[in-house]
Chains A and B, each alone.
Chain A
Amino acid sequence: MNRPAIGGRLKEFQQSEVERILGACTRCGKCYEVCPMAQYAKPPSENGRSVVPGVLAVLRGEAGSPEALGWIAVCTRSGVCVPACPENVDPKMMMRLARMTALGGRGQPAQIESKQDRDYFDRIRAFARLQLSDDELKDWT
């Protein structure tokens, strides 16, 4: 029996979501207009209709516009876009997948910078050693 590759189902789920979003989004730009993080995007844009097509391009594995990549880079999952979307696209999922793609996480070349923290997990382990007993470290982590 062939075993699916580790993480294979996640890739399949993400691809099915990408296809659903690409088919459902009408590029109306309301998700961008209500986003509280758009003010921090560089370069900024006044018009969501001009930004969203660049996000969809990233999802298709194509180059995103500077405005789209700037917005993707500042998405912090506010989720205000979700009820604003007239087509129930789930723009929060759209932006999350676009971010993963733009970071190079889904196999395409990276288009935005990924800030890697080489000490991320070691820092967590260090704080654990400072605050948990040996038994807790053994049983809990």
Chain B
Amino acid sequence: MSQPFTERVTFWYGCNVLRHGDIIHSCLDILRALGFEPAAVGGPDYCCGSVKDANQGTAGGMATRTVGKLNQRAAPVVAWCPSCHSHMHDFMERANDRHFDITYLVDLLHANRAKLAPLLAQPVPMRVIVHQHVGFNELVPVNRMVPELLRLIPGVDVAEAGYTAPGYMCASFAALPKAMDDINNNTVRAAKAAGADAVVTMFHQCYRELVGLDAAGAVPVYNYIQLIARSMGLPYTDDYKAWKRAGMIGPDGIAKVGIEFYERAIVPELKKRPNLR
């Protein structure tokens, strides 16, 4: 029997995670199972503005709009995206009146790990390393918390990665191919050295980049939410990984987004593969 809802929260998922519907749906189910009543908000209309470094007039307007919309919801906010969460901390709340409490999902799950553990019933036999960055960890100690969450899953063996990537998440490296090549290659080396079956990411921005390692056959890659969801028996499938492996989406999907846009904006992303040395 499900637990009674005890606390209404706004699940602010960000925007780019919309590539990974399974992650959003799983997060909502996990929050419900922990006794929260989440309302999901995100997409371009809830953008934090951090992608607009080159136009601070626009970024300021986006920040004011999004803080205002979150204020109107009058509920504590649970953030998914590390960019949104750090941008709220560094800029948005410094220039706007924030009237809601905010936490980061990893923080919330870790604080509720006593309630989460019994929900993780299905074994996920897998030795993993956790892909981590040096940044963001000072705001939320994710490099400690995510491995501790994964160790709650029966069968998951978290090995020491022995490698921490620079930056705070991989998407920042899209314009720095040499550095991204180093991250990809160091990650594969670390997985092999640890005898890991898979690499587990914390952030969807890293998942989107590193799933290319999976598509290239170098090492399986997951997001930590996907392993928690699997252990809870949640039914969602990872469409993005399937598209990435195939280098394409099916005809129904192409019809939804339009062939011209698909070929120009989607195909290059799905066909992109890491430069492994």
Contacts and interface: CB of A to CB of B under 8 A. Distances in A.
Given A37-B179, A76-B168, A96-B90, A127 B19 contact: yes
Given A78-B167, A105-B55, A125-B44, A131 B96 contact: no
Given A116-B54, A122-B265, A130 B176 contact: no
Name the prevailing secondary structure of the A interface residues: helix
Contacts of A100: 53-54, 56
Interface residues of B, number: 63
A6 B42 CA distance: 21
B166 A11 contact: no
A123 B19 CA distance: 9
B45 A141 contact: yes
Given A103-B54, A129-B256, A140-B43, A78 B135 contact: yes
A13 B94 contact: yes
- The listed residue with most B CB atoms (<10 A of its CB), out of A74, A76, A116, is A76
B95 interface: yes
A7 B54 contact: no
Interface in A110-134: 110, 114-116, 119-132
Contact of B176 (A74, A110, A116): A74
A106 interface: yes
Contacts of B257: 126, 129-130
A80 B253 CA distance: 42
A78 B45 contact: no
B126 interface: no
Contact of B53 (A13, A105, A125, A126): A105
B167 to A, nearest CB: 3
A23 interface: no
Given A7-B57, A11-B60, A130 B43 contact: no
Interface in A5-19: 6-14
Nearest to B179: A40
A45 to B, nearest CB: 17
A104 interface: yes
Contact of A131 (B16, B21, B91, B178): B21
A82 B134 CA distance: 12
B56 A130 contact: no
A66 interface: no
Contacts of A115: 175
A29 interface: no
Nearest to A83: B138
5 contacts: A9-B96, A76-B172, A77-B86, A79-B138, A141-B44
Interface of A: 6-14, 36-37, 40, 74, 76-80, 82, 93, 96, 99-100, 103-107, 110, 114-116, 119-132, 136, 139-141
Given A77-B168, A140-B42, 12 more contacts: A7-B63, A10-B56, A77-B86, A78-B135, A79-B136, A79-B137, A79-B138, A100-B53, A100-B54, A119-B264, A140-B41, A141-B45
